[in-house]
Structure 1
Amino acid sequence: MTRTRRPSVADLSRAVAQAVPAREAIVHRSLRRTYGELQDRVERLAGLLAARGLGAHRERAELQGHESGQDHLALYLHNGPEYPEANLAAFAARVAPFNVNYRYTAAELHKLLADGRPAAIVYHAAFAPTLAQVLGSLETEPLLLQVADDSGNPLLPGALDYEQSLATAPRDWPTPASDPDDLYVIYTGGTTGMPKGTLWGQHDIWRAVIGGAAFPANVTADQVGAAAAAGPGRRILGAAPFMHGAGGWQMLGTLLSGGLLAIPDVVHRLDAAGLCVLIERERLDSVALIGEAFARPVAEELERNSYDLSSVRAVTVGGGATSPGTKERLLAALGEQAVLADGAGSTETGRVIQGDLAPGEKAEPGVFTLLPRACVLDFARRRMLEPGEEEIGWLAARAPLPFGYLDDPAKSEATFPVVAGERVAVPGDLAQLRGDGKLVLRGREAMTINSGGEKIFAEEVERALLTHPAVGDVLVLGRPSERWGQEVVALVRLDEQADDEELRGRAAEQIARYKLPKAFVRVLEIRRSPAGKADYAWARSALAAVAEGKS
């Protein structure tokens, strides 16, 4: 049957599975699962949710942008086959899935779940002890589906075993027809405050971020399925955490286009050697890495050991600063066939700027090309800037956009204003348009340091410091100063010895001297989330400890 309405993600998932049922969809350790097998499990889990009464209770047309009329399902999981299964099953049952950062403490998890109000939680057994500390304080008792893992933790009281539930769930339990405006909820990283639930419509997120832009606006789900069947599909490394926006989008984009999603054996930490072995074994052609934290260890592994990675055609880095030297090392190790794309965006926009680098080229730090949905607003947010205007403004995105933030009308209005008659997303990144149309990304407003009346962008200083070969990772902050108001301080993880003046001297080749750190704090590791996002609360505590003479 030809579907003429805008397709939902659930429509697309079913159409692709029908078009390529025997093609492999997911590889993880010894498991190899076809699209037909994947969709069978998706439908079984969707039926289980529907049989429990979970689904949509108010339609999108009845709701304001910050409201949800659906039940929610929390995905509290490491990367694994269960993540896309539960994600797609929620869509099929008209339940809105949302991501949970598995590094959260019990206190942080409580805040997130209290905000997200899950009617069901799918979680790995390793997280059962933390979840158990939170469940009693939630307003409602969610359905618990526990995924067995190497932890050996027993089922929580009242929880169902995930695999047993799927094995006994009926394949033909009636599920409602999905709607293209059914929600996909993505919680922001929360690096500078409490994470916010961003409410995307399924069709809009597909059009904006996960593959729909390649098709005409009136494309049907069956046509997308036919396109998947027409080619072999991309073979993609699923190393970026699925609980992070970019990792989740890559996961869904792979499975909605008929590609192969190869999930590394080790999912709780970065295993650079394991990634290289997987890429070689499965002949993967696309690799996504999270900033310097992922890219440098992989580059070092490729330089230490020999792998046949000639299948790789595209490498993307994002989610954090990646030094020009690391990008160049990666490309040199991979060979002439690969290109590298350094992209940036946010939960509210998806990737909207990108910088491509071919073998032998030199990277220009912080400089990007605008993708079709990107624009730059003036600082007052009244108009869109033209190339060559000197003003530092706001990186923004045009439609498709989220509806708003869950239960936060004021923040929704502030982040999604109407400018010159057009609704845009302004997540808080400062940028400047050059005369050649290229964009210079300055960094998050919240991370801007005001020192002696001069604005200093922390990410610009970080990029400059990363050019020194001794700097393995860096995080730049402002701290109070009697003389300057604020002064620049850098937390650095060094891979080899270097004194402060060496570090300042290298950075001074890239940035003005007033931007240089007044002090360096050496740490064993920069704390980051699995998605590469910096832990600023930890960083401020580390600076405070130094000021108090504790370290």
Structure 2
Amino acid sequence: MNLAALLQRAGRADFNRPALVLGTDVTATYGALARDAAVLGRALRETLGLGAGDRVAIVMRNVPDYVTVLFGAWWGGLSVVPANAKLHPKEIDYILRDSGARVCFVTPDLAPSVEGTSAVADGQVRVIEAGSADWRVLLETEPLDEPLTVEADAMAWLFYTSGTTGRPKGAMLSHRNLFSMTACYFADVDAIGAGDCIVHAAPMSHGSGLYILPHVAQAAAQVIPESGGFDPAEIFALMRAHRGLSMFAAPTMVHRLNVTAEQADPDTGNLKSIIYGGGPMYLADCKRAFALFGPKLIQIYGQGESPMTITALSRARHAEAIARGDDALLGSVGVAQMLADVRVTDEGGTPLPAGETGEVVVRGPQVMPGYWRQPDATAATIRDGWLHTGDMGAMAADGCLTLKDRSKDVIISGGTNIYPREVEEALLLHPAVREVSVIGRPVADWGEEVVAFVVPRPGATVGAADLDGHVRDHIARFKRPRHYRFLEALPKNHYGKVAKITLREWLDKETEPAPPPT
């Protein structure tokens, strides 16, 4: 059960269909892409000496070669470790070391960051730059006739998701997990027809990259914007050029599409679907998008541990909710996907009646087997076969799930997860910082922004600019706080834990908080 079989099938049956498109220029047909993947698979095994199950890291911005690396690694019976291109070099180094990756493919703009890591300096990882002489040598190898055989439960994708411990955890996604996700896409998310395409404006290291799979299964074109990212004007231009266009988008991206569409009145006739997820969608944005683009919205709820596959709110349910003014339905995340068994339970794991709030748990063939080399974290997260998501929600009598809160305190900014503990630990490395607590504050354009409450050490003087520069030396820029509040002490509850609810109340009042009584 090798995922590369999807590409092998498309390469044979749909040899001349466009597979990879940069902007409006076709860079590879499915026949060519299949051959390149077969060539790269052999080169990784025989030229570079990787063995079955070895890890191949990918630190690349969105480019057509991303797809070649994914399927080349799978064709050779290897696992991929896609890393967010926005990460700080120290974070990339951690992923390279923890995963034990032996090869890392990079785009030229990211090569310096990767080549400066200790994993490369120590000789653990060899860096291959896409398009370089080394890359061209690899693609001169003879192809493997067939994808190498792998077990269904062999790891295909090692997905690093930040955790509340301050260190990312690697969710091991198997070939079975991703085949199951692909099946659920067709059953619960969207149909893909001949000549359709997906535009990868969101990072291919995350949700958009996972949706490469169902589109390869149907030999649909993978369109990469020339910018390599998300620009609303560019997306609307691509809509004019490509029919049957789908895209995966964070809710903040949908908001920006709304704003641009209201100003420019673009032609969206070729738009087939906007699949959104990764954070809460404001009802106002959802209604605006429906009014602007029509019944083309689909919502999915998933996690790295159950990739893109927990629940879905179909385009038909969106239309139904809009037609009857049902904000409860529109504000839900829909019903369980075909292969997902979803419950809301109390702390002891007992299912709760409809309407009661508890933790969302899920099981099914799409759920990861566990975290990479972290048996304790696996045991804490997967209990009796159920993945405990850490999300709080309530299930309606009709099976629609509404999320209430994120018990892991994740901040979602621009569709990207930011975990407060990571930011707090970076700030605590500053010699003038005694205590710190980080929370998210809702903002229209990005979903949430990071706010840090800082208690300086006695006698120390520190300002926002100083801390901002410090944080940039330790974590990715997009994770840094946008605002700082300086306190004499953090509010604590009776157990000595920081009362984040009090911090949120202070922000809601938009006033500088007074220090709590001692």
> Which TM class, normalised by the smaller chain length?
0.7 to 0.9
CA RMSD in angstroms, aligned pairs only: 3.8
Per-residue CA deviation, residues 281-326 of structure 1 (Å, 9 max, x unaligned), is: 112332321122x111111111111322112232211112221111
Correspondence list, 1:204-283, <5 A: 204-207=177-180, 209-211=181-183, 214=186, 232=194, 234-244=196-206, 246-267=207-228, 269-283=229-243
- Give the deviation of 1:138 after TM superposition: 6.0
In structure 1, C-alpha distance between the alignment counterparts of 2:215 and 2:37, rounded to whole Å = 16
Matched residue of 1:178: which SS?
coil
Amino acid at match of 1:180: A
Aligned residues of 1:368 and 1:440 also touching (Cα < 8 A): yes
Deviations 1:8-39 (A, max 9, x none): 21222212211111111121133342110110
Task: Give the aligned residue type for 2:158.
Answer: I
Pair 1:194-2:167 in alignment: yes
**Alpha-carbon separation, structure 2, partners of 1:475 and 1:176:** 37
The answer on 1:322 being equivalent to 2:281 is yes
Cα offset, 1:490, TM superposition: 5.9
* TM-score normalised per structure 1: 0.70
The match for 2:483 is 542
Partner of 2:392: 430
Paired residues for 1:141-160 under 5 Å: 141-148=124-131
Deviation at 1:252, TM superposition (A): 1.9
Note the alpha carbon deviations across 1:357-400, whole angstroms, 9 max, x for none.
12844544642322241412423243333434x24233323333
CA gap of 1:319–1:17, structure 2 versus 1, over 3 A, is same
The correspondence for 1:170, drawn from 142, 158, 179, is: 142
1:384 equivalent among 323, 343, 351: 351
Question: What is the alpha-carbon distance in structure 1 between the residues aligned to residue 389 and residue 417 of structure 2?
Answer: 23
- Name 2:45's counterpart in structure 1: 50
TM-score by structure 2 length?
0.74
| Aligned-residue offset at 1:115 | 0.5
Q: Distance in 2 between matches of 1:98 and 1:136?
A: 14
Q: Report the Cα offset of residue 447 of structure 1.
A: 1.7
Matches within 5 A, 1:371-520: 371-372=336-337, 373-388=340-355, 390-418=356-384, 423-447=385-409, 491=441, 493=443
**Helix, strand or coil at the partner of 2:21:** strand
Instruction: Output the amino acid matched with 1:184.
Output: A
1:111 aligns with 2:105: no
State the partner residue of 2:297: 340
In the alignment, does 2:145 pair up with 1:203? no
Could you list the per-position Cα deviations for residues 332-367 of structure 1 after superposition, in whole angstroms to 9, with x for gaps in the alignment?
A: 122x4x331222110111231223412844544642
Cross-structure match for 2:313: 355
Conserved in 1, the CA contact under 8 Å of 2:45 and 2:51? no
Separation in 2, partners of 1:31, 1:235: 12
| Deviation for aligned residue 1:133 | 1.4
Judge conservation of contact 1:47–1:170 (CA < 8 Å) in 2: yes
Q: How many residues align?
A: 437
Distance (Å, rounded) in 2 between the aligned partners of 1:477 and 1:43:
42
Aligned twin of 2:77: 94
The 1:400/1:322 distance shift into structure 2, 3 A limit, reads closer
* Compared CA separation, residues 415 and 442, structure 1 to 2 (3 A): same
> Which amino acid letter does the alignment assign opposite residue 339 of structure 1?
K
Cα separation, partners in 2 of 1:258 and 1:537, compared to 1, 3 Å? closer
Secondary structure of the equivalent of 2:388?
A: coil
Deviations 1:40-96 (A, max 9, x none): 111111111111364545xxxxxxxxxxxx210001111111111100111110110
Q: Is the 8 A contact 1:54 1:93 kept in 2?
A: no
The question of whether the paired residues in 2 share the 8 Å contact of 1:76 and 1:124 is answered with yes
Cα 1:211–1:259 shift into 2, 3 Å: farther
Measured at CA, do residues 170 and 110 of structure 1 come closer, stay the same or move farther in structure 2, by a change above 3 Å?
A: same
1:279: how far off?
A: 1.4
Equivalent residues in 2 for 1:14-33 (5 A)? 14-29=8-23, 30-33=25-28
Question: Using a 3 Å threshold, how does the CA distance of structure 1 residues 535 and 402 change in structure 2: closer, same or farther?
Answer: farther
| Kept in 1: contact 2:196–2:243 (CA 8 A) | no
Q: Structure 1 residues 535, 436: CA separation in 2 closer, same or farther (over 3 Å shift)?
A: farther
Identity %: 18
Amino acid at match of 2:289: L
Please give the secondary structure, in 2, of the residue aligned with 1:78: coil
Alignment-mate amino acid for residue 282 of structure 1: H
Question: Which of 82, 89, 100 is the aligned partner of 2:65?
Answer: 82
CA distance in 2, matches of 1:172, 1:536: 41
Per-residue CA deviation, residues 445-474 of structure 1 (Å, 9 max, x unaligned), is 1229xxxxxxxxx89xx9xxxxxxxxxx99
Query: Structure 1 residues 547, 441: CA separation in 2 closer, same or farther (over 3 Å shift)?
Result: farther
Tell me, what secondary structure is at the counterpart of 1:426?
strand
Which of 153, 158, 164 aligns to 1:181? It is 153
What amino acid is the match of 2:234?
A: G
Following the alignment from structure 1 to structure 2, what is the Cα–Cα distance between the partners of residues 366 and 124?
Answer: 39
Q: Distance in 2 between matches of 1:189 and 1:440?
A: 23
Q: Secondary structure at the match of 2:12?
A: helix
- 5+ residue gaps, structure 2: 425-435, 446-452, 454-463, 466-475, 490-511, 513-518
Contact 1:233 1:260 in 2 (8 A): yes
1:88-133 per-position Cα deviation (integer Å, ceiling 9, x unaligned): 1111101100111111112111111111111111110111111121
CA contact 1:25–1:261 (8 Å) conserved in 2: yes
1:397/1:424 contact within 8 Å kept: yes
Query: Partners of 2:442 and 2:367 in 1: how far apart?
Result: 37
Deviation of 1:277 after TM superposition, in Å, equals 0.4
Q: Residues 110, 547 of structure 1: CA spacing in aligned structure 2 closer, same or farther, 3 A cutoff?
A: farther
- Identify if the C-alpha distance between structure 1 residues 325 and 175 changes in structure 2 by more than 3 Å, giving closer, same or farther: closer
Aligned residue in 2 for 1:367: 332
Instruction: Summarize deviations over 1:232-285 as a string: whole Å, max 9, x none.
Output: 1532222221111x1121112211222122111111x42110011001211233
The alpha-carbon distance between structure 1 residues 82 and 121, as it changes in their structure 2 partners (threshold 3 A), is: same
Quick check: 1:125–1:146 contact (8 Å CA) kept in 2? yes
Counterparts of 2:419 and 2:80 in 1: how far apart (Å)?
A: 34
